[in-house]
């Protein structure tokens, strides 16, 4: 089922949690909503679920307008970070719950509900655990049961709000891979909320990057890593250095020193460069220099930081065997960058 959001606004006590959000999700897509705490991800998911309603704007499921429909009418499956299973019910009964509470002709027979629960347990790779109680499961198993329960009602889409958020890193990683495979098997349109960029890019077909109630960028992992649309996305997706530069006749200069060429027209810009896209050069060709204040090992590389003047911190990622020490002078220049127009307040 494809989902279309058109100019959604949502305020809480005058605070704009969502500010003119429009998004088209194709049928069968796995979409990650990625952003820092408070950016509006959960609010957007709750609006799609029907747990909240927009102040203005419209939500379409296919060509049908769903903006004011109830949760039940929308027939969506959702799983939250702490979406507790019913403690006093077995795994199979938890999974069948959504079908058992159906009324009249919509309610399958008990035997069919049991059968369906067992099939779903198989699908989430937990067959054999039907008669256990939630307390007898690991955290990862519980979230898989929660997912099976969401799938039991044959939802038109799956909405997942940090479903693996409370689990430890290893389990989380395994479940991520598992969810991706499950998605390929079932093909449900899925919207997944996370504040973890690795999780977002590993799982999703497309990532929606949000900040302060707005969508900053919608794109593939490659788009957001290699072609971040805004300074926010550039900084959120990895470490970054930002330098205010001037462009004149196609030449980019930082504090009068030439960085390189561009085809943008003259003006003031912010130049963003990743720490691993800064190289050490001879002083005469350096564009940025400073005295190292921090030098540390970071995995396979070494990271050095210095102040390039006016309190502007520059971070450089170097090979692990680089001889950089606190107090030594570093001369660098960016080898790859992106330019963004300087924001005028
Ligand atoms: P997190 O990652 O922390 O869950 P989020 O990106 O999901 O954050 P939301 O939960 O959507 O963010 O919240 C967006 C903003 O709206 C926040 O500033 C939050 O305080 C506010 N907000 C959300 N729900 C309500 C509510 N029911 N009443 C008042 N304010 C709310």
Q: What are phi and psi of 159, to 5 degrees?
A: -120, 120
Ligand 1 atom with the shortest distance to the CA of 13: 29
The Cα–Cα gap between 217 and 196 comes to 16
Are residues 13 and 32 both part of a single domain? Answer: yes
Q: How many domains does the chain have?
A: 2
For the domain that residue 228 is a member of, what is the CATH number? 3.40.50.300
C-alpha span between 33 and 191 (Å, rounded): 7
Cα(256)–Cα(252) distance, integer angstroms: 9
**Same domain assignment for residues 312 and 280:** yes
Question: Any idea what the CATH number is for the domain that residue 337 is in?
Answer: 2.40.50.140
Domain boundary (183, 200, 235) is at: 235
Atom of ligand 1 nearest to the CA of 43: 11
Of the candidates 200, 235, 270, which is a domain's last residue? 235
* pTM of the predicted structure, to 2 decimals: 0.88
Gap between the Cα atoms of 4 and 25, Å rounded: 6
Angle at 182 between CA 176 and CA 137, to 5 degrees: 65
**Which residues form the pocket of ligand 1, taking CB atoms under 6 Å from any ligand atom?**
12-13, 17, 35, 37-43, 195
ipTM: 0.94
Q: Which of 210, 235, 260 is the last residue of a domain?
A: 235
pLDDT tens digits, the chain, 345 residues: what are they? Answer: 899 999 999 999 989 999 999 999 999 999 999 999 999 999 999 999 999 999 999 999 999 999 999 988 999 998 887 767 899 999 999 999 988 888 888 888 889 999 999 999 988 889 999 999 999 999 889 989 999 999 998 899 999 999 888 788 888 888 888 889 989 988 999 999 999 998 999 999 999 999 999 999 999 999 999 899 999 999 998 889 999 999 999 999 998 899 999 999 999 999 999 999 999 999 988 889 999 999 999 889 999 999 987 788 999 999 988 888 899 999 999 999 999 998 754
User: On the CB side of 221, how many CA atoms lie within 13 Å of its CA?
Assistant: 11
161, 74: one domain? yes
* Å from CA of 43 to ligand 1 middle: 6
Q: Which atom belonging to ligand 1 lies closest to the Cα atom of 45?
A: 11
Say if residue 294 is in the same domain as residue 227: no
Residue 308: domain span: 239-341
Q: Based on the domain organization, do 252 and 192 belong to the same domain? A: no
Interstrand relation of 251-254 and 257-261 (parallel, antiparallel or unpaired):
antiparallel
* Residues 179, 202 contacting (CB under 8 angstroms): no
First to last CA, the chain: 41
Of 288, 290, 289, 287, the closest CA to residue 259 belongs to: 287
């Amino acid at each position: 089922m494809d989902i279309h959001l058109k100019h959604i606004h949502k305020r809480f006590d005058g605070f704009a949690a969502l500010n003119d959000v429009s998004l088209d999700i194709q049928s069968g897509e796995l979409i990650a909503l990625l952003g820092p705490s408070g950016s509006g991800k959960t609010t957007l998911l709750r609006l799609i679920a029907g747990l909240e309603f927009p102040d203005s704007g419209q939500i379409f499921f296919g060509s049908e307008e769903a903006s004011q429909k109830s949760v039940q009418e929308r027939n969506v499956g959702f799983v939250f970070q702490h979406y507790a299973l019913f403690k006093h019910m077995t795994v199979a009964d938890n999974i069948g719950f959504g079908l058992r509470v159906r009324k009249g002709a919509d309610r399958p027979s008990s035997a069919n509900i049991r059968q369906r629960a067992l099939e779903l347990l198989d699908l989430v790779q937990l067959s054999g655990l039907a008669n256990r109680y939630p307390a007898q499961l690991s955290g990862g198993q519980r979230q898989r049961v929660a997912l099976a329960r969401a799938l039991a009602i044959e939802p038109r889409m799956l909405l997942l709000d940090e479903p693996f958020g409370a689990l430890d890193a290893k389990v989380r990683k395994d479940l991520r891979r598992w969810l991706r495979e499950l998605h390929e098997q079932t093909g449900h349109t899925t919207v997944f909320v996370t504040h973890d960029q690795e999780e977002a890019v590993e799982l999703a077909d497309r990532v929606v990057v949000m900040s302060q109630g707005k969508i900053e960028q919608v794109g593939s992992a490659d788009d957001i890593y290699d072609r971040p649309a805004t300074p926010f996305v550039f900084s959120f997706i990895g470490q970054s250095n930002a330098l205010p530069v001037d462009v004149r006749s196609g030449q980019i200069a930082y504090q009068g020193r030439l960085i390189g060429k561009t085809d943008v027209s003259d003006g003031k810009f912010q130049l963003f460069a990743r720490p691993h896209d800064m190289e050490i050069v001879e002083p005469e060709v350096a564009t940025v220099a400073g005295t190292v204040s921090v030098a540390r090992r970071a995995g396979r590389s070494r990271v050095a930081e210095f102040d390039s003047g006016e309190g502007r911190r520059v971070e450089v990622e170097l090979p692990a065997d680089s001889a950089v020490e606190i107090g030594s002078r570093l001369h660098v220049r960016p080898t790859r960058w992106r330019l963004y127009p300087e924001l005028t307040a």
